[in-house]
Amino acid sequence: MTDAPLIAILDDEPEIRRLLSAALEEAGFRTVGFARATEFEAALRRIQPDACLIDLGLPDRDGLALVHRLASESGAAIIIISGRAQVQDRVTGLELGADDYIIKPFEPAEVVARIRARLRRPQRDAGPGRQQVRFAGWSADFDRYTLTSPEGAETPISHAEAEVLRLFLDNPRRLISRAQMLETLGGTAGESFDRAMDVRISRLRTKLGEDPKNPRLIKTIYGAGYIFLAELG
């Protein structure tokens, strides 16, 4: 839980791996290096890095395909390191799901700073690990689909309710428009499906013990959307 973040390094040049892992460990990270994409992918079943530094132009695999797969399946931050400096390369790398794109030759200090910038944000971890979030005295468990009140009472929540709650927890204290919700929750636009949103929220509100006249956690902004007010922790 409070371990140092783990950074995976995928680069076929041993010299670069050494340089990077030295700088990162100096900065307080744990590192693990790989020379080939196949090794790296095999290891991903065992370890769960917080960020991946990936060198494009690997000998044994198309790096961009790997980036794409990682982006959709892993919650780790993905940072490309590449010697290809063309704007088009950078754009496609980022569009495929990379979080950053660093050009060789790079400065280790900048790599560290960019990794830190990525890890500052809450990770959306996709692993099967414990998915518990605490907020305003409550505790949500997305594995067991339960909600525990500040007093300790536990009530089950449905999948639909959990989806809404997760969206709120990912964007605390930010306005979330209806359109955003429909998009995130997979509802096809328009129709009377946004009615379903209202109902989901209404049900979630009751389970959170909200006062209908004066909701404290889920606030509705007329004509704009919703705001989830809670300190995470």
Binding site for DNA (CB under 7 A): 156, 158-161, 178, 191-196, 198-203, 205-206, 212-213, 220, 222-225
Q: Which among 34-42, 122-130, 191-199, 203-211 is the span making contact with a copy of itself, rule CB under 8 A?
A: 122-130
Residues 7-26 that bind a copy of itself (CB under 8 A): none
Task: Give the strand order in the sheet containing 132-135.
Answer: 132-135, 138-141, 146-148, 154-156
Alpha-carbon gap, residue 136 to 216, rounded angstroms: 10
Does 98 sit near a copy of itself (CB under 8 A)? yes
C-beta of 38 vs 202, nearer to DNA: 202
DSSP code of 232? B
Which positions from 41 to 70 touch a copy of itself by CB under 8 A, shown as an x/- string? -------x----------------------
Please, which residues bridge with residue 147 across strands? 140, 155
Q: Which does 121 bind (CB under 5 to 8 A by kind): DNA, a copy of itself, none?
A: a copy of itself
Both tokens assigned to 66: 């790997």
How big is the site for a copy of itself, counted in residues (CB under 8 A)? 62
Phi and psi (nearest 5°) for 127? -70, 165
- 150: how many CB neighbours lie within 10 A of its CB? 10
